[in-house]
Amino acid sequence: MDNNKKRKALRIIVREVLKAIKRIQEASTTGGVAGYNTPNAFSGPGDKEKKKKRLVGKDYELIDDLEDEVAEALNISENRWLAFKQDESRTNNKKIADGTSQIRKDLEDILKYLSWCDRIRNNNDITKDEFHVRTESNVKKIDDLIDKIRLKLKSFKI
């Protein structure tokens, strides 16, 4: 599955989760506890201006809806690409130079972190059989990503 298909599948899943969140009714186990003074603490998604008006003169703070945060997280990658592409303060050659420099720094950090993990593994005589299932899965995914990076670098050099 290529990255675009994965991205589309992830978006579909996130949209379904967001729809499910909207359908969830308020659930609270604090019914027997007296003394909570948090008006509208469990209000559903709605007009932010209306919520702000309810809080005027009170010592409460409006926290954005989860839906907004998830939607923002989904757009981060696209927004970063657009900002990078449309940045007129740098030439395209400068963008490439800065980008490859940042990639190199990030890869050096990754290598350092992997070295730390390897030291912990060696110092504590942890064998592959003792790894968590997700560790083996993550190592496989990292290996696949490195292969993709290698292919991308080859096409980049041409």
- Full-prediction pTM beyond 0.75? no
Please give the share of the chain, as a percent, with pLDDT higher than 70. 60
Task: Please check the confidence at residue 21 and state whether its pLDDT lies above 50.
Answer: yes
Task: Please check the confidence at residue 86 and state whether its pLDDT lies above 50.
Answer: yes
- Residue 147 pLDDT class (50, 70, 90 cuts): very high
The stretches of the chain forming alpha helices (DSSP H) are 3-23, 48-55, 66-86, 92-123, 133-157
Look at residue 68 in the predicted model and tell me its pLDDT: 63
Task: Please check the confidence at residue 25 and state whether its pLDDT lies above 50.
Answer: no
Q: 45: closest CA among 62, 28, 31, 30?
A: 62
